[in-house]
Structure 1
Amino acid sequence: MIIPKNLEELAGYVEKGKNVFFFTADWCGDCRFIKPVMPEIEAEFPEYQFIEVDRDDYMDVAIEWNIFGIPSFVVINDGKEVGRFVNKNRKTKEEIAAFLREL
């Protein structure tokens, strides 16, 4: 999991590559629930880079991307959004894997 150091670095991942942006926050119970299985999800989908985005650190990005519930996932391929799994519900490993397989 890549954790960008600043907005410029985050923007670089938007522009190139197949990236899954994982919006999260330290205080989010549903985020803490899914975080331990994220390495397994990453291993199952090696074609993607996974970018952890702390919603509180990048609130402007979250607002611009309409991320109002976390954890949420947005997939961008070379600057174009190809899918999103964004809602306020707790997500399971199976649900996230099914979302990524459908892309």
Structure 2
Amino acid sequence: MGLCLGKQTEGGDSEENVKFSGGNVHLITSKESWDQKLVEASGDGKIVIANFSATWCGPCKTMAPFYRELSEKYPSVVFLLIDVEELTELSTSWEVKATPTFFILRDGQQVDKHVGANKSELEKRITAIIDSTTQRQN
């Protein structure tokens, strides 16, 4: 399971985030946009997947295309991307210790967490939450 525990190289401007986003992935660039997306998702009864990553992190780069694919495969889920370097206070408040870290949220509250670049495990967790939410609604 690949993960980054700290910045390993210098550089990497915010333009690199474009490679990380796309599909139905929403790039979060402020605490306000984070709050807004969580409120919107809660209001719509949607699950949120929050990907805390970094442009310099190899495993994050590996997960980026897969994360975009997931966002297109599960359109009923809100996929967010947070750069830990850009939003350090938000990352700290969520106690992100390694990248990538994925939080699965329902009504703004954490229901699951996945750390690392294990694609199949991440998708398994997402589908389990989707299935449990679907069963709750029936």
Equivalences, count: 100
Structure 2 residue 66 is the aligned partner of structure 1 residue 40: no
In structure 1, what residue type is equivalent to 2:68? P
Any idea what SS the aligned residue of 1:52 has?
strand
2:48/2:106 contact within 8 Å kept: yes
| Equivalent-residue separation in structure 1 for 2:32 and 2:105 (angstroms) | 16
C-alpha distance after superposition, 1:36-69 (max 9, x if no partner): 2222212232221101000111111111111111
Greater helix fraction, Structure 1 or Structure 2: 2
The answer for the alignment partner of 1:93 in structure 2 is 119
The alignment-based identity, stated in percent, is 21
Unaligned runs of 5+ in 2: 1-24, 42-46, 130-138
In structure 2, what residue type is equivalent to 1:44? K
1:20/1:74 contact within 8 Å kept: yes
Greater C-alpha Rg: 2
Any idea what SS the aligned residue of 1:19 has?
strand
1:75/1:81 contact within 8 Å kept: yes
State the TM-score, normalized to the length of structure 2: 0.66
From 81, 84, 97, give the equivalent of 2:110: 81
State the TM-score, normalized to the length of structure 1: 0.86
> What is the Cα deviation at residue 31 of structure 1?
0.2
| Equivalent-residue separation in structure 2 for 1:82 and 1:47 (angstroms) | 17
Unaligned runs of 5+ in 1: none
Q: Give runs of ≥4 in structure 1 deviating > 6 Å.
A: none
In structure 1, what residue type is equivalent to 2:33? E
